[in-house]
Structure 1
């Protein structure tokens, strides 16, 4: 009977750490999913995604003729803006929705600094979103100019405000990426210090 009780107690102690580790892993996955989902929202755009061409491909003339350029993306986006007379209004709404997604990502990225685990993948996720924001800002500005050429009413004040807001969003996400990188460096430094302390002891 005593042996049975001891087995039960031993088994009970073993389950605790396993459950705790599983919960910790689930928490890490949830944190990653939240950041990744927010980044995908920032990268979402109402036009076909432009494809970059490498420097070597440009020199060799080997660039894919079917690739989507930024100009193609602008044309495709301008063509889908409706109705006539209110096309810039739709553009401004789309830009603000993108900026709202960027603001949400910035908040989540800063919260991730205090997450249970931070990796360089998190930094890369934010940096990819920054590149998407830069591209989006250029396309919205170019699309506004195209609308103006087509005789559509365009509010220049709003264009400037949108451009300024994109600059601020990019700056904020850049700071968040730096904070994530600093957290990684801090963890690395503390891990090395703890290892040396154990070895010294």
Structure 2
């Protein structure tokens, strides 16, 4: 990760170096620490507000921001994001909004009926209200299609609501450090977003 010349003021005011979207984009493309801090600082309040509206735990804020930033940086690397179409701030907020919505959907709809830790037991349509059953059936299909380890990673974080440190300490995951766990979960959330588009007609009803 490329870093700009050290200056104490840059850590206090990371956006001093990035007064335009173009400069910020260049900094993000180089993965400059201050550019990343600047953008996170600019979107944090908006994402926090969305989380409160969706009744998500405050502890998820850093995870959602981290996962959203990884997705944005990957989009920049693969030339899928350009400042001509959207600002980095607007684009990251949009990504984080999708992550928040997915976390909320998983939490509220999967917890409508009890699941075991491996997500193997789901109520049948005959055992539950038809509307809830349809939602569970769709979510089951998406999670099963994701497969391991993604369905376990999503379950532990957004359903069991275990912190990364708790997952590692309790040996609930094979990952030995929080960074590798977050990177893998971020990839899983990108796959989940792709699946949501695949099942768009049904998913829109959740």
With a CA cutoff of 8 Å and minimum separation of 6, indicate the structure with the bigger relative contact order.
1
Q: Same fold (TM over 0.5)?
A: no
Name the TM-score class by shorter chain. under 0.3
Larger radius of gyration between Structure 1 and Structure 2: 1
TM-score by length of 2: 0.23
